[in-house]
Structure 1
Amino acid sequence: MHSLLSTLQDEISKYTDAIAGITGTDVEIIDNNLVRIAGTGRYRYMLNQDVSSNGHIYRHVLQVQKTILIEDPKENSLCQLCQNRLTCTEELDLNAPIFLNNQVIGVIGIICSNREQKMFLMKQKQAFITFIEQFSEMISSRIFECLERLREKERFGTFRNLIDVMDRGVIAIDSQNKIWHANLSALRFFDCELIGQSLDIDMTGDILYGDEEAWLILNQQRYHVLCKKITFSSVDNDQLTMVIFHDARDYMTQVNTLSVDENPHSPLIGNSQNMLQLKSMLSKVAVSHASVLITGESGSGKEVVAYTIHQQSLRTKQPFITINCAAIPEQLLESELFGYVRGAFSGADPKGRIGKFELAHGGSLFLDEIGDMPLHLQAKLLRVLQEKSITRVGSNNMINIDVRIIAATNKDLREMVNKGQFREDLFYRLNVVPIHTPALRDHREDIAELAQFFADDLASTYQRPVAKIPNVVINYLYSYDWPGNIRELRNVIEYMYVMQGDTVDLNLSHLPPYLLETPHSDPLEKEKTSGIYTAAKTDNKDKNQPLNAQEFLKTQNQTSEYQTIMNILEKTGTTLEGKKKAAEILGISIATLYRKIKIR
C-alpha cells in the first residue's frame, strides 16, 4: 500500500543525503505504514522494506507523535523485543515525526553507529533535536506543496494514478462536499458513478483499529467505514478533504473469523426419548426470534444446544459468537461484550476493539455461564435487550444491533433472584423460552452412540484407524453415573486413545483406573427400567456370546491391568481355551495376554 511519503521518494532521498552529509550519521525515513522510504549508508540498499517486525522505536514515535531520543538502544525498553537487539550496532537514535495537517505520515531518524558520532551529537543535543524537527517541517511543507501542485496539474492526474492502485477507497471532495475524484476501490465500494455527487461524512468520534469510524452518506444511503480524513487547502484557497477508507464490514469479517472456535461444534447426538423431545423442541424454538435460556449440569452440552438453535434458525448464515461470562475477569467482561475505543481505559489496545455484540450482528450471541455475570453488567445487558443498541466503552456513540440472545447456566437463577444475586427483570427477559439439557445419566441409551462418535472423531485426531468400541467397554460406560456428563465421556474416550498405544483395538485395559475401581451396579438392572438394550443383555450361558464384564470385575480393589486379567482368567479358566476366551473379552491377542501375564 502506497503512502504520501512514497509519492516523493526520489526527492525525499535527497533530504536524507543532505542530513547525513551535515551530521555525519546515517539517516532513514519511514512512512506511517512502517515502510522504509529513504535511507543512507547501509539503509540505502533496503528501500521499500517493511520494518514493522523490528521497528519498535518508529512505531512508538508514530503513536506518541513527538520527537524521541534513544541514547542507549540496546538498553531501552522499546528495543527489548527487537530480533536484532543482541547484534545491533546502533549507539543512538534520534527520531522525529513528520506531520501533515496534524496527521503523522512518517518518521525521520538519525542513527549513530559508533561512539564518535554519538559523542558529537550529545554535545549539541538540543541543536540536533531542533535541526531534525525543522527538516521534518521542510518535508511536510514539500509534501503539502506537491499535493497542491498535483491538483492543479490535470486535477491531480499523477496522484490519481497512484491512488487508483491503492487497496483502500480514496475519495477527494471540495468545500461544497462535491466529489471531484475517486479511485477504483471507491468506485467498486459504492458501485455507482461518483464524480460530481454530493458526499456527507458523519464521524462517530470512535477510533477502531487505528482508523476513525464514520458513515459516508451518498444518495441517502449510509455506508459504514473506518477511515482517515486529511483536509488541506488548494492554491486557490479551496478546502479539500481526502477520505481514505476501508469497508467496516471487512474488519468485522476478519475479527469474526478469529473469534470462531477452530473446532467445529459437535452435532446434537442421541435418539433416546429425552433427546428426541429436546430435538423436537429445538426445531420449534429455532424459527422464532425469542430469547432462550438453557439450563443443565456442567458438561451436558448446553453450547451444542445453543449452536443447534442457531443452525436451524434463519440466522444460520450469520455469525454465532460465544462468550463465557465466568472465564473473563469482571473488569474486562464489559469491554469484551460491548467493545471499546482508543483511550477507553488503562491497558486497552490503543487501536480500540469491536465487542461481541457487534461481531454477532445479524446472528446469535451465546452467553454461557450467565449466572456469573456481575450485577452492574446485568443492568447494562437488560438495557441492550430493551433498546437493541449498545455503546462501546469510552464512547457516546449509540450502535443499533440485531442479535438473538441465547444464554446458559448450570445455576438455579430463580434461587439467585430470590437471594438478590440476579436481576429479576433480566431473568424474565432471558427466560422467554426455557430449555433444559438432560444429564447424561438421564439418557443412558445415547452413551454408545456418543462414545462411538467421539471415538471416530479422535481416530482422525490421533491419525489411527477407526475402532469400534467393544460391547464389554460399552457396558462399563453404561454403568457409570457420569457426574461430568458428556464432556467427561469425551475425556474418557480420549484417555483410551492415549493409553491404546500400539494395540489395534480398544479394550477394558484402556479405561481410566477410576472407572475400573468404582463399584458398579449391574447395568442389566438399569436397563430393565430404562429400556436400554445392549450386548450386555445376552445369555451368559451361551458359549458363543461375550461374557458380561460386570461378572468378572465386581471387586472394588481391582487397581491394575494385571489384576483385571487374572480375575477374568478365574472365570474362563487357565487352559488354552480359557486364555483365548479371556483375550477375546479383553480385545487383545493371545500373545499379548501371555506377555502381560509374564510382566508380573
Structure 2
Amino acid sequence: MEGNALKFRGKKELLSDYLATTIEKIFDPVPVPIILIDAETRIRVINKVFADYLGFSKEELIGRKVLEIDKNSRFPYVFKAKKAEIAWKHRFENGHTAIVHRIPVLDENGEVVYGFGLVLFQDVEEFKDIIEKNKLLETELHHYKKQLKEIHGAKYSWDNIIGNSKKMLQAKYIAEKAAQTNSNVLLLGESGTGKELFAHAIHNGSGRNYSPFVKVNCAAIPSELLESELFGYDEGAFTGAKKGGKIGKFELASGGSIFLDEIGDMPMEMQAKLLRVLQEKEIERIGSNNPIKIDVRVIAATNKNLKELVEEGKFREDLYYRLNVMTIEIPPLRERYEDIGQIARLLLKKLSKQLGKYVSKISSDAMAYIKRHNWPGNVRELENVLERAINLTDSDTILPMHLPVYLTKNTKYTMDSPIRPLKYIIEDAEKEAITRCLKYTNGNKLRTAKLLGISRSSLYDKIEKYGIK
C-alpha cells in the first residue's frame, strides 16, 4: 500500500508521503468506493473497492487522469465550475450506472487543489431497491401522496424572468400586481416566450406560495379524460374506475393555484363545466352529486388568439371574459432585441452545467448572428441553438461556425431592410470603408490603417470581425 502512497506537489508539497499513506489506509477498509484526485485530475488515492468496481488494479489507476479511465467523468467540469455535484446519476464507461458525489476542494485563494469522489450507490437498481423497501403500505393516504408527488410546485420566481426591455418590464409589472390579488390571470404569448415561467412566478409571488401549484396541459390530455383529470371521480363512477375513486387537479390545488396551459385547446363541453367552477367556486366529481367547495386561483395560458376563437364559435365568450381579468401579454423575443444577449448568456450557463462542458463565452461575431435572427421559436429555439453549439465547440467559446447554417445565412435585417438598428448600419459602413481602402492600397494594411486613422492592431481586429478577405 505504501507503494501507492502519493505525493501532492505544486509550488510546495501539499501532502506528505506519510499523510498520503495514512489516507490510503483509511480509504481501503471503507466498503464505499472513494477516490481523491489532484488539481490536474490525476488519481492520487483510490480504495480497492472503487478500483475493482472500475475493473482495474490500484497500481494501474494511480497517477492517471480520470478521463483516461472514464471518458464520461464530470470532474473536469466540476473543477472549472468550482461547485460540488451531490447525488448525481452517472454512467461509467464500463457500463455501470451509479449515484455519485463530486466535490472540489479549494485553497484559501479559491483555487482547486483536490477533488474528492464517492459512489453512494454502485448501481441505480440498488438505490431503487432501498426506496422500495421504505415505501409505505398502499393505503388511501399513500394513494393521495403519490398523486401529490406529481405536483412539483412552482420552481421559478421573478428573478428567473430575464429582460429589461420596455415590453418585458411592462409584462412583469402587471404580473407582479396580479400576484397580489386572487383574480384569474390570462397569459398570452407565442410558443416559447415563457408563459409557464410567468405562471410559476405569479404563484410564488402571491400569498398562496406555500400551497400547491398544479399544472395541467389542456392540449395533452384526451378530451374524454380531461374532466376526470380536472374534477376527479368517485368509486364505481365508470368501468375501470379505481377503488376509492380519484382526486382531481382542482382539489389537489386547494388553497393554491392551478395552471391551465393551452386553454385555447379545451373542448367546448369542458369549457362550460370550467365556467361553472369559476362562477360557483365548487366542483363535482364524476359519479357524485355532492359539490365540493374549492379555493383555487386559475392561471390560464394560450398561444392562440382567443378573441378570434370566440368570433369563430370555438371558445365560449362568457368563459373568455371570466378568464380575461388580469391579462398579461408576453412579448416574443424579436420584440425585445435588447434582452437577447442577457438571455443567451444565462442559458449558456444553465446548459453548460447540464451538459458537463464548461463553455462560458459567446464570441462577438456569434452574438451578432444571434441578435440578428428573428427567433420564431423564441427562447425555446434559442436554447436549442445554444445546446447544439455547446456540443460542437471544443473550447470555452461559441463561435459562428458552431451555429446552425440557417442562423448565419439568414439574418433578421438585410441590407434592403428600410429600418435597421443603428449598430448594424455603423458596422456595415465600417466594413465597406475598410474593404474599399484595402482595395485602394492593394492590401497594404499599414497604409490602410494610416488612411483610416486607426492603429494596425485595430485594423486586424476589424478585418477578422467582419471576415474581410
TM-score (normalizing by structure 2): 0.59
How much has 1:582 moved relative to structure 2?
9.8
8 Å contact 1:325–1:370 — kept in the other structure?
yes
Amino acid at match of 1:510: H
1:395 to 268, 288, 292: 288
- Give the secondary-structure state (helix, strand or coil) at the position aligned to 1:294: strand
User: 1:260 maps to which residue?
Assistant: 152
Q: Write the deviation string for residues 135-189 of structure 1: whole angstroms up to 9, x where unpaired.
A: xxxxxxxxxxxxxxxxxxxxxxxxxxxxxxxx99xxxxxxxxxxxxxxxxxxxxx
How much has 1:469 moved relative to structure 2?
1.6
- Give the secondary-structure state (helix, strand or coil) at the position aligned to 2:288: coil
User: 2:181 maps to which residue?
Assistant: 288
- Give the secondary-structure state (helix, strand or coil) at the position aligned to 1:333: helix
The percentage of aligned residue pairs carrying the same residue is 45
Structure 1 distance, partners of 2:352, 2:429, is 32
Is 1:503 the counterpart of 2:395? The answer is: yes
Is 1:377 the counterpart of 2:270? The answer is: yes
8 Å contact 2:154–2:203 — kept in the other structure?
no
User: 2:421 maps to which residue?
Assistant: 527
How much has 1:384 moved relative to structure 2?
0.8
CA spacing shift, 1:254–1:354, aligned 2, 3 Å: same
CA spacing shift, 1:356–1:312, aligned 2, 3 Å: same
Amino acid at match of 1:428: Y
User: 2:104 maps to which residue?
Assistant: none
Structure 2 distance, partners of 1:253, 1:540, is 65
Amino acid at match of 1:513: V
Structure 2 distance, partners of 1:586, 1:391, is 66
How much has 1:537 moved relative to structure 2?
6.2
Q: CA RMSD in A?
A: 3.7
Is 1:330 the counterpart of 2:210? The answer is: no
Q: How does 1:220-235 map to 2 (within 5 A)?
A: none
Structure 2 distance, partners of 1:291, 1:409, is 14
CA spacing shift, 1:515–1:354, aligned 2, 3 Å: same
How much has 1:403 moved relative to structure 2?
0.4
8 Å contact 1:340–1:352 — kept in the other structure?
yes
- Give the secondary-structure state (helix, strand or coil) at the position aligned to 1:526: coil
CA spacing shift, 1:314–1:539, aligned 2, 3 Å: same
How much has 1:397 moved relative to structure 2?
3.1
Query: Unpaired runs of 5+ in structure 2?
Result: 1-134, 436-442, 446-456
Amino acid at match of 1:526: R
8 Å contact 1:321–1:359 — kept in the other structure?
yes
- Give the secondary-structure state (helix, strand or coil) at the position aligned to 2:376: coil
User: 1:515 maps to which residue?
Assistant: 407
Query: Unpaired runs of 5+ in structure 1?
Result: 1-166, 169-208, 212-225, 227-245, 542-546, 553-569, 588-600
Q: How does 1:102-181 map to 2 (within 5 A)?
A: none
Structure 2 distance, partners of 1:537, 1:252, is 63
Q: How does 1:293-442 map to 2 (within 5 A)?
A: 293-350=186-243, 352-442=245-335
Structure 1 distance, partners of 2:391, 2:334, is 25
Structure 2 distance, partners of 1:311, 1:473, is 36
Is 1:450 the counterpart of 2:332? The answer is: no
How much has 1:503 moved relative to structure 2?
3.1
8 Å contact 1:473–1:507 — kept in the other structure?
yes
Amino acid at match of 2:233: Y
Amino acid at match of 2:343: L
1:274 to 161, 167, 180: 167
8 Å contact 2:250–2:258 — kept in the other structure?
yes
How much has 1:458 moved relative to structure 2?
0.4
User: 1:487 maps to which residue?
Assistant: 380
8 Å contact 1:479–1:522 — kept in the other structure?
no
Q: Write the deviation string for residues 226-273 of structure 1: whole angstroms up to 9, x where unpaired.
A: 5xxxxxxxxxxxxxxxxxxx5xxx765552332327976781110011
- Give the secondary-structure state (helix, strand or coil) at the position aligned to 2:397: coil
How much has 1:283 moved relative to structure 2?
1.7
Structure 1 distance, partners of 2:428, 2:313, is 57
Amino acid at match of 2:386: I
Amino acid at match of 2:216: I
Structure 1 distance, partners of 2:391, 2:156, is 22
- Give the secondary-structure state (helix, strand or coil) at the position aligned to 2:398: coil
8 Å contact 1:507–1:586 — kept in the other structure?
no
- Give the secondary-structure state (helix, strand or coil) at the position aligned to 1:406: strand
Q: Write the deviation string for residues 85-119 of structure 1: whole angstroms up to 9, x where unpaired.
A: xxxxxxxxxxxxxxxxxxxxxxxxxxxxxxxxxxx
How much has 1:350 moved relative to structure 2?
4.2
CA spacing shift, 1:462–1:518, aligned 2, 3 Å: same
Amino acid at match of 1:363: G
Q: Write the deviation string for residues 421-475 of structure 1: whole angstroms up to 9, x where unpaired.
A: 1111111111111111111111111000111111000011011224122221111
Amino acid at match of 1:292: V
How much has 1:334 moved relative to structure 2?
1.0
Structure 2 distance, partners of 1:584, 1:349, is 68
Pair member with larger Rg: 1
8 Å contact 2:232–2:246 — kept in the other structure?
yes
Aligned residues: 312
Q: How does 1:12-51 map to 2 (within 5 A)?
A: none
User: 1:93 maps to which residue?
Assistant: none
How much has 1:322 moved relative to structure 2?
1.1
- Give the secondary-structure state (helix, strand or coil) at the position aligned to 2:300: strand
CA spacing shift, 1:372–1:331, aligned 2, 3 Å: same
How much has 1:540 moved relative to structure 2?
8.0
8 Å contact 1:338–1:390 — kept in the other structure?
yes
How much has 1:285 moved relative to structure 2?
1.2
- Give the secondary-structure state (helix, strand or coil) at the position aligned to 1:259: coil
How much has 1:586 moved relative to structure 2?
10
User: 1:13 maps to which residue?
Assistant: none
Structure 2 distance, partners of 1:583, 1:341, is 73
Amino acid at match of 1:506: I
Structure 1 distance, partners of 2:268, 2:257, is 23
After superposing the two structures, state which structure 1 stretch, 504-513 or 342-351, moved more.
342-351
